[in-house]
Amino acid sequence: MPRKIPYSIANYEEIVTGGYHFVDKTRFIRDLEQYKIPVFLRPRRFGKSLWCSILECYYDVNRADRFQHLFGGTDIGRSPTPSHSSQFVLRFDFSKVIVAVGYAEIKFQFDQVCANSFRVFLARNRERLVGVDIDDLPGDASSALDRLMAEIAGRQLPPLHIIIDEYDNFTNQLLTARQDDVYRDLTTGDSFLRTFYKVIKAGVGDGSVARVFVTGVLPVTMQDLSGDFNIGQVITLKKHTLEILGFTQAELDTYVDQVFAEHDWPAELRTRVADDMHNHCNGYSLLPDAAHPLYNSALCNFYLNELVINDGEPPTEAIDPNLRADSEWLLHLAKSNPEIRAQLETLMYQGSLPVNRRMFSGTIDAGHFFSPAFLPLRLYYLGMLTFQDEYNLGAPNLAVKTLMVRPPGVTRVPRTAKIHEACDVSIHAMSPRISARSD
């Protein structure tokens, strides 16, 4: 029976047990173990949550008896590192933090999300943490985490492996909504967010925390928290970790070949699908000298899922609907700032924006990052621009170009053969409309 396409599936156990295709990237676990607290940034819809789930399954001491089932057929399973299946795993997903009005309400939401993570953790480890119940923990997330770490250290239990997914989701929402005062309250002084990371840092120091893995989209919040969490190691642009997420051409070819073999589709369709996916999903060069441009895995899975659902009929819509929010954010930027509007018009007409690579290695706090000069960097981290060469960023593929130029009300993307013409028409229509909207 044909395997399923893992579109929107971010649970590794479900992929293994549910009969899904899986592009094996587990070899990169060895690269990650070179770092104690890696911070890994990638755009939205690039597979970060699935990678967090893979790490959770790999290190979790409670899954030791299922390690062979979960990883036996993978690269890391054939030659695992000594630390596999040896740690408690505590995972947070801060995309669940609802951005409310005011500091106190956001703290309440943050504490609630962390409490749910503590509840799941205690349920999975109840036999080792007898006597520790969620109702016994403080309501404050930092105090609760500190209490848990003390229990683990005092009982000489396996250390914690903390995974923080979408660490900056709610703070980015504050920034894009221009709630600068609330953001500043969260990232300065003795805020609950700074205190939370201080507790983690202390746990790393006393050995109750073995490792920390942090994902997100933008480097801003990490930079603004660096005074209290200065042990994080940003590996976003390390050459040996560039391909942790996304598919290389060879990986995608193998994946698509397997799909076609299982469905017995003709070679002519395989050629058309290859062209479509190359034009719409490829082109992410995360460094000017990156070994391979990468395909966006979410876009690939969206396309292949539609192909399977339609029994071999290529989709007329090649854009994951979840990515459209970024284009709305672009229009908001263009409307709110004439200098940014001019930059976007340059991008639309010329196809690229100049970039100074020193921006990527320098200090990037909120005050700098949201200035017009840093627009190319923002668009890079959001996945809307990628390196064309050493000095210029451009859109990686037609999917992103279409997001940037699609007129309001247009809901479908023309076939690949006509998309360039459609983009050209939309570009010329877009610039005057942006100008009109800003008046």
- The per-residue pLDDT for range 189-247, each reduced to its tens digit, is 899 999 999 999 999 999 999 999 999 999 999 888 876 667 788 999 999 999 999 99
Integer distance in angstroms from the first to the last C-alpha of the chain? 58
Mean pLDDT for 133-150 is 95
241-254 pLDDT, tens per residue?
999 999 999 999 99
pLDDT beyond 70 at 322? no
Q: What is the pLDDT of residue 93?
A: 97
pLDDT beyond 50 at 432? no
Please provide the average confidence, as pLDDT, over all residues in the chain. 87
Q: What is the pLDDT of residue 338?
A: 85
Q: What is the pLDDT of residue 326?
A: 62
Mean pLDDT for 48-61 is 98
Q: What is the pLDDT of residue 374?
A: 87
Give just the sign of the alpha carbon dihedral 353, 237, 94, 138.
negative
CATH of 24-241, one of 1.10.3470, 3.40.1000, 3.40.50, 1.25.10: 3.40.50
345-372 pLDDT, tens per residue?
888 888 999 998 888 876 777 877 778 8
pLDDT beyond 90 at 123? yes
Q: pLDDT grade, residue 321 (50/70/90)?
A: low
Q: pLDDT grade, residue 29 (50/70/90)?
A: very high
pLDDT beyond 70 at 414? no
Q: pLDDT grade, residue 291 (50/70/90)?
A: very high
pLDDT beyond 50 at 396? yes
Q: What is the pLDDT of residue 332?
A: 67
Q: What is the pLDDT of residue 400?
A: 87
% of the chain surpassing 90 pLDDT:
68
Q: What is the pLDDT of residue 235?
A: 93
Which one has a higher pLDDT value, 179 or 245? 245
Q: What is the pLDDT of residue 406?
A: 54
Mean pLDDT for 24-34 is 97
pLDDT beyond 50 at 438? no
105-118 pLDDT, tens per residue?
999 999 999 999 99
Q: pLDDT grade, residue 323 (50/70/90)?
A: low
Mean pLDDT for 144-172 is 95
pLDDT beyond 50 at 418? no
Residue boundaries of the structural domains of the chain: 24-241, 249-309, 321-438
